[in-house]
Amino acid sequence: MRVALGRARRGLGLTGPNPTVGCVILDPQGRVAGQARTADGGRPHAETQALAQAGERARGGTAIVTLEPCAHEGETGPCANALISAGIAHAVIATTDPDPRTAGAGIERLRAAGISTEVGVLEAEARALNAGFIKRVTQGLPHLTLKLGLSLDGKIALANGASQWITGAEARQRGHRLRAQADFLLTGAKTVLKDEPRFTVRIAGISGADPAVGVVYDADRADQDIVGWVNQHRSGWRLLPGWDFSAHLRALAAEGYNRVLAEAGGGVARALFVEDLVDEIVVFRAGKVLGGDARDGVGLFGFTDLAQAPHFGRVDVLALGPDVMEVWRRA
Cβ–Cβ < 8 Å for 21, 96: no
Give the long-range contacts of residues 270-276, CB within 8 A, separation 24 or more.
Answer: 270/298, 270/299, 270/300, 270/301, 271/243, 271/245, 271/299, 272/144, 272/146, 272/245, 273/298, 273/301, 273/310, 274/301, 275/245, 275/246, 276/310
Cβ–Cβ < 8 Å for 121, 80: no
Q: How far apart, in whole angstroms, are the C-alpha atoms of residue 119 and residue 141?
A: 26
Which among 3, 91, 19 has a CA at the least distance from the CA of 51? 91
For CA atoms 285, 2, 101, 184, the dihedral sign is: positive
Q: How far apart, in whole angstroms, are the C-alpha atoms of residue 275 and residue 231?
A: 29
* 263 belongs to the catalytic site: no
Which among 47, 246, 284 has a CA at the least distance from the CA of 149? 284
Catalytic residue, candidates 47, 68, 263, 280: 47
Cβ–Cβ < 8 Å for 268, 248: no
Task: Provide, for the chain, the percentages of residues in helix, strand and coil under a 3-state DSSP scheme, each rounded to the nearest 5.
Answer: 30, 25, 45
**Residues known to be catalytic:** 47
